[in-house]
Structure 1
């Protein structure tokens, strides 16, 4: 006959929750009680099961991941990192997709969506409305944001302002003065702060260098290659002077711009230098100069922070800025004198 957690609790004269906490090394168990529980468990040959642990602690051994899209490069890679860390520590993943950047009654996160289903939540690359933040607070569970800052949440992400500064500085250092910016679209900026941070980094760097910010050189895409190509077309069709370089707010938009440039016979980098952000899988094949980040590692780090908090480790929830790196490839070159 197998030994249950109730058997251990009865022999050790503690609750089943205390048995679970003691066996899992969680806080709020005195050293003497922990030692007694461990001794009884060893004596009885008790092996905790995931279901018994969940019943005793109220845990589900499941973490939710809230995301607006599942088919974008950063989202998919960050999700893979979260899943890797969860599996390595015996947790399951529950995907909660909100169906893109929608508003009002069309998209709303509620506490009922996750009640008693998950132990913590990873929020991927999206902003939450005030009502959604209030619903999130009701869950009373650990929350970690990935990909950019979210009000009231600890996050794992790069410094997007600094990344945009590095990309723009690279173009300026190559002698470019007429620099365009292919930025995120209106929906991106409403729903998430990262596009705005990258735009601010670009603008601040241009102003610091004493360079003109030309409104017609700032064109919106939506972080996809298709919209990057469409936005590039609007830049290429401008009358008069053309930019000699473009800073793109994502690699996917930069790749779209490069496709459109090739279609029109615009040579890169001879006629136009291009730099992006991400280090998308296709960037190295395209020779795209970019600011590299590692979304898989972002996801792993976020999941690790979250699980440490779920498991009661002190000071587990901490903000984490991840490294980024300028990778110089064939899409940028010094402006001919």
Structure 2
């Protein structure tokens, strides 16, 4: 028969509530008593009941995660890193995949996470009504996407500065005909495509380069979309000598299209991406590196801090560093191009 908390209390000569506080790391227990309790619990093979702890502390020891595309690299990387941090702290994850529009609509209408989670990590950007619904849960909220918003701790990057660095790199190499493979924000309310496009236009303007709408193509933030977009750019009367892809996956699709057209990179066309995808180094892609896994881990740590210290000041926005990584896909344009 497994030992109970009362068995540990009797062995040490303290109350069951003191044993509970000691094993949960709470204050009010001396170091000497705590060490004797831990030793007695180990000797007796006592393991605290998760359900009992939940009832006593009002916690579920579960963190909810809502995401639009759990199968995509960015979201999967963020989720893996967050899970590592939360699991080490004794929390389980409850995942909701809200990619399909109907699934998202049903989730926010029913809010099935209510009273089932202690905190929530959002990997999608809620609109005003959705944000209000999430705040009504009364639990700590964090996200790794989008701009600052009320009630959320946002861990992210400066998308505009990153895209400016990418396009400015191409300008500094001497390119004047620069295309962009982008993505629409659409119903997911993404801000990254908007900010990265603004940066592209800003740098062209500061360099005195006229914007050609024919050089902006939607790549859907996928490899297939990037290949399709690059093929479209090659079909314009005066193709670009360089391309900024708003994600590495679209950049990889662009590289595939250029290879199929028997064009050399960077001799014929330079390509720069954004993200530093785990395969970017393999294909030699020049890119803007952002710490994707670190964003997930930091968001998880901030949620845990809010759970452990409910009265502490909550950071509204944490900006992670970005950097330009030079590899093999960018070079000055050929003479005459």
With structure 1 as the length reference, what TM-score do the two structures score? Answer: 0.85
Q: What's 1:109 paired with?
A: 108
Equivalent in the alignment of 1:283 = 280
Find the aligned partners of 1:86 and 1:225 in 2 and give their Cα distance: 31
What's the CA shift string for 1:118-155, capped at 9, x where partnerless?
1101111x221222112101100001111333522221
Counterpart residue number, 1:196? 194
Match of 2:296 among 292, 299, 304: 299
Deviations 1:80-123 (A, max 9, x none): 101110111111111111024x3797554356310121110111
1:87 is paired with a residue whose SS is helix
* In 2: Cα distance, 1:88 partner to 1:178 partner: 50
Deviation at 1:39, TM superposition (A): 5.0
C-alpha distance in 2 between matches for 1:54 and 1:77: 29
**Alignment CA distance shift 1:336-1:199 (3 Å):** same
Q: 1:19 to 1:37 in 2, by over 3 A?
A: farther
Correspondence for 2:245? 248
- Equivalences, count: 323
Matched, 1:223 2:224: no
TM-score relative to the length of structure 2: 0.85
Once the 2 structures are TM-superposed, how far is the Cα of residue 264 of structure 1 from its aligned partner?
1.2
CA-CA distance at 1:182 after TM superposition: 0.7
Local SS of the residue matching 1:285: coil
Equivalent position of 1:269 in the other structure = 266
Question: Helix, strand or coil for the counterpart of 1:284?
Answer: coil
Structure 1 CA distance for aligned equivalents of residues 254 and 37 of structure 2 = 68
Any idea what the Cα deviations from partners look like across 1:282-311, whole Å, max 9, x if unmatched?
A: 211211101112211111111011111111
**What residue ranges of structure 1 are gaps of 5+ in the alignment?**
none
- The CA RMSD over aligned residues, in Å, is 3.0
Q: 1:43 to 1:164 in 2, by over 3 A?
A: closer
Unaligned runs of 5+ in 2: none
Q: For each residue in 1:12-71, what CA deviation from the matched residue of structure 2 results, as whole angstroms up to 9, or x when unmatched?
A: 999x7x996786456xxxx7xx24899599679677443222111111111111100111
Structure 1 Cα separation of the partners of residues 202 and 149 of structure 2: 23
SS in 2 for 1:238: coil
Corresponding position of 1:132: 130
Which residue does 1:328 correspond to in 2? 326
In structure 2, distance between residues paired with 1:111 and 1:12: 45
